[in-house]
Chain A
Amino acid sequence: MTAQNPQFLYANDFQDTAHLTVSSNNSTAFKARLFDKRPKFQHVTTGQTGSNATYVYAPGDSPSISSLIILNCNWAAFTATYNSGTAFSTAISVSGATGGDFYFEFNAVTITDITITVTATSPAGAEKRVGQIIFSRNLYTFPENASAITINPSPQQVILTLSSGRKVIYNIDTSLYQYEASLTLVAESELDNITDLLDEADINAVFFITRPDTTAGSWDGVCDHVIIENGREIRNFSGPFFGAGYDVRFVMSPAGGTP
């Protein structure tokens, strides 16, 4: 099930704080931090250092879910089940982790509820913290010949001139960046799938995962909400001697903000 090709997911199915019940700090304002697109805004339990924390997602309708993403947490051990205790295929049960980000894929299921139970934190005995919980399903996986995903930072630099004429350089933290996706020799039939992706991205920000590794606790990819900025520049046919197809390039920027 582990996929390594860059992948897009639909927007978070979790869009309404009323659909999530947390065993602690269940107020609307705190739960909103769990679907804000900035994982640094953490939901923090209160008084649950020694007891399990549960996060029950019950959207009210019956969506199909095949991905669970947990970002910026301090969880060391947790499980996730659906529809009152049914295990996913593949089952989600993590222990001995050190927090951070987690990505899980499983066979798509129609859910009425998903329950995440956190039993331990890293370091042990802390309040349970988590920045974002994303329930979603696959939208598009890049074909094998996707040639490159690059992240292009836009560094900011200020140069001041002192009275003697000497220069002083201030390198400001990079806060602006874009992803540039480049695919080569894409089959014409694949272009339809890419068009579907762009159509979806016109309506909703989508999740983009550069290297979706489902190995718990060792994820070194990037997961970001993105908007696709120039997605129409996709059709440049090239036919070198080793193959023929379309070159596809588009630029993505972080979507940011709330759902």
Chain B
Amino acid sequence: MSISTEIVRSVCRPYRKLEMKRRLKGATATYEADWVDITDYVIDWPTIERGVSDDHVVGDFILPKLSVTLENRRRAFEDYQSPFSLWYGLPTRYLTMFKITHGLYAAADGYDNTEVQGGTFYGVLFDEPVYSDDNTIKISIGDVLQVFKLYAADLMTDTSSGLTSAIVQRFIDLALNGVSVFDKFFQIAESITSGAITVTSPATDGKTIFEKIAEYSTVEGYMPEVSASGGFEWKARSANGAVVWEFVGGALSPDPVYGESIMSIDQIEDGSNYIFNSVNIEYADDTYAKATRSWTPGDSSSYDLYGERLFDYVLHDLNQDNATSFAEQILSNNNAPHRRYKLTTRYIPHLNTFERVKVRYEGIPSNYDSVFGQARFGVNRFTEANGPIKINNRECKILSQRVDLNTFACEFYLQEV
């Protein structure tokens, strides 16, 4: 059985689990060995969002922060000083690790309670819980990547130059007095895609490790993420692999494999708002590497069609050659529009950011009542209506996705490739 098989059924039985690992006392402040299931306490489930934000420009990505409401009638979620607390006798609740897993029970031969996993989210308690006298407590679970915001980049003593990926690896491997800072936050070893650009003298500008990783992600066109297995990943934003899902909906017949999954097409953008065809990278004070092309009015170039769209970025970790490479990469990736689609779908929990998908949709013409009064009698416009939207088997990559664990509806933001 596979999650794809379960997704397309007309009656599904989803499961959701919230588990936690509390920090133990000790010099290394590691976590307890086993995940503790606290699903029964959950009153309101979060929406899990991953990928890049809707209005993202180059390098931007979502750092999810989930809000979960828990039953607190007996004060189980008080801080560690309370004997009623689940943290009693342990250190602070702060940075307690949480794992949310969700998916569908297999329905083969009747429900047999076999879990077919769909998605996993790893987070840490990052903000103060919000108490309420209505017997609940609201906790904010930040993506595990938030922990990189807690430490300054200049904790890293090796500031020699190297590929961006090598520097990111150094951050992940950071140890103080021989004890790893970040190992305990990740369940498996990291996966870091090799970079192409060398940076010099990193971590000397007072930024956090998170800010530096975000900068290098922009430079390489990469993105950090936590995998479904709980490991740190640094991966390319390009569409990867073969098509893993086909979204079908509207007047079209359901696909024999992928069924019908689209609830609505919420937005279609031509992508002209995200064009950058003139790039300035400041790699030293008032010193720039530029990427642009010559053009002539009327030549149908990006400049002729959309005007000059400027992208500015400051990163003093680069020399001139590497800054130029970075600028050229931004230019080549962003000087033409790519169509984008925002869809609301049924529960499709297993897809990953930047995976390749297809969209097929044919809108159903509105009934006359909804548009009557906008048209002229005698003009035969209604009878020939063929639907307001047609998306003809377009291949896209997933920019972002939202899974609402209360309603099981999903949102996908896609960009044509």
Chain A interfacial positions (CB closer than 8 Å to B): 16-17, 27-29, 32, 36-38, 40-41, 44, 158, 160-164, 166-173, 175, 255-259
Contacts and interface: CB of A to CB of B under 8 A. Distances in A.
Given A29-B87, A38-B40, A168-B12, 18 more contacts: A28-B88, A32-B89, A36-B86, A40-B37, A41-B36, A162-B249, A163-B249, A163-B364, A164-B364, A166-B260, A170-B408, A171-B11, A171-B12, A172-B13, A175-B39, A175-B40, A257-B72, A257-B75
Given A162-B261, A163-B364, A171-B12, A255 B346 contact: no
A169 B11 CA distance: 5
B13 A170 contact: yes
A173 B15 contact: yes
Given A256-B74, A258-B76, A160 B346 contact: yes
B260 A169 contact: no
Interface string B81-105: 0011111111000000000000000
A11 B250 CA distance: 58
B413 interface: no
A174 B319 CA distance: 60
Given A29-B90, A38-B40, A170-B347, A256 B71 contact: yes
B331 interface: no
A258 B71 contact: no
19 contacts: A29-B89, A36-B76, A160-B263, A160-B408, A160-B409, A162-B249, A162-B260, A162-B346, A168-B11, A169-B10, A170-B408, A171-B12, A257-B72, A257-B84, A258-B74, A258-B83, A258-B84, A258-B86, A259-B84
A27 B89 contact: yes
Determine chain B's interface SS by DSSP, over half rule: loop
Contacts of A167: 10
B76 to A, nearest CB: 5
Contacts of B15: 173
B262 interface: yes
A33 to B, nearest CB: 9
Contacts of B337: none
Contacts of B346: 160, 162, 168
A173 B13 contact: yes
A162 B408 CA distance: 13
Interface string B389-417: 00000000000000000111100000000
A219 B45 CA distance: 34
B328 to A, nearest CB: 41
B73 interface: yes
Which among A160, A163, A257 has the highest number of chain B CB atoms within 10 Å? A163
Which among A41, A172, A175, A257 has the highest number of chain B CB atoms within 10 Å? A257
B407 A160 contact: yes
Contacts of A259: 74, 84
Interface string B7-50: 00011111110000010000000000010110111000000000
A46 to B, nearest CB: 9
B36 A257 contact: no
A71 B156 CA distance: 50
Given A41-B36, A161-B263, A255 B74 contact: yes
A258 B73 CA distance: 9
A21 B124 CA distance: 32
